[in-house]
A and B are shown apart, each in its own frame.
Chain A
Amino acid sequence: MILERLTSLGISTLASAAPLALAALGGLAAAASGSLSIALEGSMLVGAFTAAAVGHATGSAAAGMAAGAFAGLLLSLLVGGAAVGLKADVFVAGLAANILAPGIVSVASQAAYGTKGVLAAEALRSGQWEIIALLASASLALALFLSRSVFGLRLRVAGEGDEIAAAAGIRSGAYRLAAHLIAGAASGLAGAALAAGIGAYVPGMTSGRGWIALVAVFLGGRRPGGVALACLLFGLLFALSNLVQGFGGQGASSGAELLQAVPYAVTALALVAWKGAERRRKAGG
């Protein structure tokens, strides 16, 4: 009984952590290039919707997932293009993308299906293990790519500053744009996986996961391993709050719904604690 519970908690942790990790590694690419990826949340949302729409239309889960990643990439192209090409403030461009995402999804949904509510896509629904395996391998590949490839190395140099990059003959702007695209595609795929998990798109289904992924980038010390670990921790939080909710979820006023707030509050606390420790370490050393 207890063992069963633990296993299901473990699986549920992995299922929550995997999309976070992929999106966070995308965010890491942007951070490593010296930019900020506020738009992870937006990319996840358009990824989820596009995956459901394409999955519904084609009847293919694979096509849905690919389309989700592509949609995330398109959104991040707006942000990266504005920031790198037009020298716009990356923060404002990212916010605009986050405002754009739910709007454009709703408009598209209204135009195509006459509803702005839930969009069922049974064809997209995939097994839990399939999704975890897909996301985990994508995360691993991305982590490896960032830390070991020639591209990843140059990306990190771009993140050290334009002058240093220029001295090494590296065009930092191009790498920064590429990093935004990677972030968009990764979080688009992560969003698609959310939709695949339940076989439907539900408005607001990302509910701040893109932001938690962004926090994981900072908490993980900007290293792939650390970022993945932070995501596992947040995944555990989500799993725990779901589990406890399952125990007491009979009455509407039982407070089970309140538990959904815990991951966000704890994430904020973790960030504060980590930053505090970092500051103390610096002051001491």
Chain B
Amino acid sequence: MSMNWERARPRIHALGAALLLALLYALLASSDPRAALSAFFLGPFASAYTFCALLESSAPLLACALGACIAFRAGAFNLGGEGQASVGTLAAALVASALGGAAGLPPALVVAASMLAAAAAGSCLALLSAEAERRTGAQVMLTSFLLAQAAIIAVDWAIGGPLRDSSSNLLAMPPLSEGARLSLIAPPSPLSLAFPASLALAACTVFFTKATRLGSEIRLRGKNPEFALTIGLSPRLGDLAMCLSGGLAGVAGSFLVLGQAGRAVKGMTGGVGWNGLAVALIAGSDGLWALPAALFFAWLDAGSRQSSILADLSPDASSVLKAVALFLITAKIAGSGKPRGSLLGGTGAAT
């Protein structure tokens, strides 16, 4: 119903245009366009290893994007995903290293507790903004960003300072024990349980937003907050949405720590929050669409990385391509004569 062709077309156009631009860039900027092109487009699929790496890197992105989808559906502009993921990394690393050392605890429990701690940390940070808006009207859009910025600095300080593993050259906390990490699925590739876990989160998010009363209430609030109050919906729905949104971003942070890296590294979120936001916008705040969009973004990232290693292109080309896709999709939707705001709340015709 919501995954119909009408809604898919502008998104596919935008993503296609981004790919076209990538093609142009590789042709124009590289001294060896053939190598650059094949590295960019095919590199991520060249081996099982690189493909698994692509899947693994999509997991935190998808989690952040799902969080952004829920917040946007509720009409809350959560711009703090980056910081919520960042506190998630710290919380996960702290809990995992504390419990991982304790004898006798089953690994599954340690990992679950670490992920919960990360979710709680992200939730708390997001909740501050939601409560501030409910009580005073201070815009979530601004406070979530500012608090996230402060949190990122604090987390970076903690990881690079008091919590740093002094035996290592890295600005990072000590590596986690094997039992406190998400198991690898296909060693030696970095693919871990984080990827299937992110798929499960996507399924839960889609179920929550489309098949529950609360999900439908959140959608009504996002479309018209005044109407939501008039029909008696709780003013705390915004809190709930921000809480879930921040929690998902926190889980994304735990994926980074407990998955591939196996430790908390300074600055390891590396834009996952902002990219998650972009994925959610391209997906029209629809959890179903967030999965392909996140995979697409992960592909762009992996492609740029590959082409910067194997050819002479910039690894940051992917963020230009993502921005172009975003620009195009706002323009596309506006151009098709549909009601405004469909990027943020999903079109009115859905569900």
A133–B264 Cα gap in the complex (Å)?
44
Q: Is the CB of A107 within 8 A of B320?
A: yes
Residue A201 CB within 8 A of the other chain = no
Find residues 211-226 in chain A having any chain B CB closer than 8 Å to their own CB: 211-212, 214-215, 218
Give chain A residues whose Cβ lies under 8 Å from the Cβ of B136.
272-273, 275-276, 278-279
Nearest-neighbour CB distance to chain B for A100, whole angstroms, equals 3
Q: Is the CB of B327 within 8 A of A78?
A: yes
Residue B160 CB within 8 A of the other chain = yes
A92–B132 Cα gap in the complex (Å)?
23
Q: Is the CB of B344 within 8 A of A89?
A: yes
Give chain A residues whose Cβ lies under 8 Å from the Cβ of B153.
257-258, 260-261, 264
Give chain A residues whose Cβ lies under 8 Å from the Cβ of B333.
88
Nearest-neighbour CB distance to chain A for B138, whole angstroms, equals 4
Q: Is the CB of A265 within 8 A of B147?
A: yes
Closest to B166 in A: A253
Q: Is the CB of B327 within 8 A of A82?
A: yes
Q: Is the CB of A268 within 8 A of B147?
A: yes
Nearest-neighbour CB distance to chain A for B62, whole angstroms, equals 18
Q: Is the CB of A99 within 8 A of B322?
A: yes
A92–B138 Cα gap in the complex (Å)?
20
Q: Please, what's the 1-or-0 string for A193-211, where 1 marks a CB less than 8 Å from any CB in chain B?
A: 0000000000000011001
Residue A1 CB within 8 A of the other chain = no
Give chain A residues whose Cβ lies under 8 Å from the Cβ of B330.
82, 86, 88-89, 92-93, 96
Task: Give the most central of A91, A92, A98, A275: most B CB within 10 Å.
Answer: A92
A86–B330 Cα gap in the complex (Å)?
8
Q: Is the CB of A87 within 8 A of B334?
A: yes
Q: Please, what's the 1-or-0 string for B306-350, where 1 marks a CB less than 8 Å from any CB in chain A?
A: 000000011111111011101101110111000011011000000
Q: Is the CB of B320 within 8 A of A211?
A: no
Question: Are A110 and B316 CB-contacts (below 8 A) given A88-B331, A99-B323?
Answer: yes
Closest to B144 in A: A268
Give chain B residues whose Cβ lies under 8 Å from the Cβ of A262.
150
Q: Is the CB of B340 within 8 A of A89?
A: yes
A258–B158 Cα gap in the complex (Å)?
8
A253–B266 Cα gap in the complex (Å)?
14
Tally of contact residues, B, Cβ under 8 A:
54
Residue A103 CB within 8 A of the other chain = yes
Nearest-neighbour CB distance to chain A for B279, whole angstroms, equals 11
A45–B142 Cα gap in the complex (Å)?
19
Q: Please, what's the 1-or-0 string for B138-168, where 1 marks a CB less than 8 Å from any CB in chain A?
A: 1101110111011101101100111010000
Give chain A residues whose Cβ lies under 8 Å from the Cβ of B302.
none
13 A-B contact pairs sorted by A residue (CB < 8 Å): A93-B327, A96-B323, A104-B323, A110-B313, A211-B145, A253-B161, A257-B160, A258-B157, A261-B154, A262-B150, A264-B147, A272-B132, A276-B136
Residue A106 CB within 8 A of the other chain = yes
Give chain A residues whose Cβ lies under 8 Å from the Cβ of B145.
208, 211
Nearest-neighbour CB distance to chain B for A35, whole angstroms, equals 14
Q: Is the CB of A103 within 8 A of B154?
A: no
Closest to A274 in B: B138
Residue A116 CB within 8 A of the other chain = yes
Q: Is the CB of A103 within 8 A of B316?
A: yes
Q: Is the CB of B314 within 8 A of A107?
A: yes
A166–B335 Cα gap in the complex (Å)?
24
Among A92, A100, A208, A275, which residue has its beta carbon within 8 angstroms of that of B137? A275
Nearest-neighbour CB distance to chain B for A7, whole angstroms, equals 28
Nearest-neighbour CB distance to chain B for A103, whole angstroms, equals 3
Question: Are A218 and B322 CB-contacts (below 8 A) given A93-B330, A106-B314, A257-B157?
Answer: no
Q: Please, what's the 1-or-0 string for B263-282, where 1 marks a CB less than 8 Å from any CB in chain A?
A: 00000000000110110010
7 tightest CB-CB pairs across the interface, nearest first?
A103-B319, A100-B323, A88-B330, A106-B316, A96-B326, A110-B314, A276-B136
Residue B77 CB within 8 A of the other chain = yes
Q: Is the CB of A271 within 8 A of B340?
A: no
**B interface residues (Cβ-Cβ under 8 A, vs A):** 25, 29, 77, 132, 135-139, 141-143, 145-147, 149-151, 153-154, 156-157, 160-162, 164, 274-275, 277-278, 281, 313-320, 322-324, 326-327, 329-331, 333-335, 340-341, 343-344
Give chain A residues whose Cβ lies under 8 Å from the Cβ of B149.
207-208, 211, 261, 264
Question: Are A86 and B135 CB-contacts (below 8 A) given A116-B316, A215-B146, A271-B142?
Answer: no
Give chain A residues whose Cβ lies under 8 Å from the Cβ of B141.
91
Among A86, A276, A278, which residue has its beta carbon within 8 angstroms of that of B334? A86
Give chain B residues whose Cβ lies under 8 Å from the Cβ of A211.
142, 145-146, 149
Give chain B residues whose Cβ lies under 8 Å from the Cβ of A258.
153-154, 157
A206–B93 Cα gap in the complex (Å)?
29
Q: Is the CB of A265 within 8 A of B146?
A: yes
Q: Is the CB of A92 within 8 A of B161?
A: no
Give chain B residues whose Cβ lies under 8 Å from the Cβ of A10.
none
Q: Is the CB of B29 within 8 A of A111?
A: yes
Residue A267 CB within 8 A of the other chain = yes
Find residues 240-279 in chain A having any chain B CB closer than 8 Å to their own CB: 252-253, 255, 257-258, 260-262, 264-265, 267-268, 271-276, 278-279
Q: Is the CB of B77 within 8 A of A91?
A: yes
Find residues 36-70 in chain A having any chain B CB closer than 8 Å to their own CB: none
Q: Is the CB of B160 within 8 A of A252?
A: yes
Q: Is the CB of A271 within 8 A of B327?
A: no
Among B29, B157, B340, which residue has its beta carbon within 8 angstroms of that of A255? B157
Nearest-neighbour CB distance to chain B for A59, whole angstroms, equals 26
A234–B275 Cα gap in the complex (Å)?
28
Q: Is the CB of B320 within 8 A of A104?
A: yes
Give chain A residues whose Cβ lies under 8 Å from the Cβ of B77.
91
